[in-house]
Amino acid sequence: MYHATRIELKKLPSVANHTVRSAFSRNTNTRDPQLPNMDAVIYNHVPDKANVKAYAAVCGFDSKSEVLPLTYPHVPAFKLHMELMLHRTFPLGIMGMVHVTNKITQHRAIRIGEAIDVRAFFAGAKRTHKGLEVSLRTEIRIGWELVWEGLSTYLALLPSKGIEKVEPEKILPDAIDVADTEIWTLPSNLGLKYGRTAGDPNPIHWGVVAAKAFGFKRHIAHGMWTKARSAAALHKKLDSDAAEIYVEFKQPIYLPAKIGIHSAAKDSDNNLFFEVRDNKGEKVHLKGYIKAI
């Protein structure tokens, strides 16, 4: 697809850069928001080894591995997402947008030290009774080889008057038959630790005071940390570097917390369905599937 505007980065922007720019982003058109025809790219990016190791450690991956964790490529991808949504032609303010779904497909493992070309672009928008769902697609190539791709959908809350409520496409089962459970204890400073390694500047993860300023009772864990931690627990069960993992973010996890990942046995299509629930096993924070491809 041809894109009229291209943002080409020589290096990834800092967290401070995105934090300041995010604070000044505002809605310019909530009546009929149109996504700009644009993409963002960075060529020959070599992920910093120390950052990869720190990310692996905070998300529960093997920090001695010489390949990128399955979810790590979302780190540079998210930087490009931010550039697209902070562009002056993007009609919505970025603060308050909610990450609702995320799908990652890894075609082969990426070795630490390999130079990657990362490209992200708007992949469509859908108006719902809650607002506008904006999808961004990421493609990562090494040479001509597509090695990793992702699809992230963010919700911008908008007035719903006159918008018919339509049930979303059903991808996951309503409930799973739990075959395995693993309990995690999340410290209060998890948001700060993950935010530093992943480059996510959202203040709702920093601490109680910052989170309350945005309407939360306490600070919350990053949704992509929860996905990464789930991938760390389940990817090793697949015996395959090539994998697909899809999640839906349901309810925030207030920090500190004790939560559990509950997974089913693989089904006939090789899907391993899972849910992340609160300590009582009642509230679902995230649900998804992972499978070898």
The residue written with tokens 């859908």 in the block is 126
Greatest mean pLDDT range, 4-8, 67-71, 194-198: 67-71
Q: Could you read off the pLDDT of 181-224 as tens digits, one per residue?
A: 999 999 999 999 999 999 887 788 888 888 888 788 999 999 99
Tokens at 240, concatenated: 């395959």
How many Å is the maximal CA-CA distance in the chain? 54
Report the C-alpha gap between 176 and 237 in whole angstroms.
Answer: 18
Domains in the chain (CATH in brackets) are 5-157 (3.10.129.10), 178-292 (3.10.129.10)
Q: Could you read off the pLDDT of 126-138 as tens digits, one per residue?
A: 988 888 999 999 9
Q: Characterize 3-38 residue by residue with b for buried, 16 or more Cβ atoms within 10 angstroms of its Cβ, and e for exposed.
A: eeeebebeebbebebbeebbeebeeeeeeebebbeb
What's the gap between Cα 28 and its chain centre? Answer: 25
3-class SS of residue 47:
coil
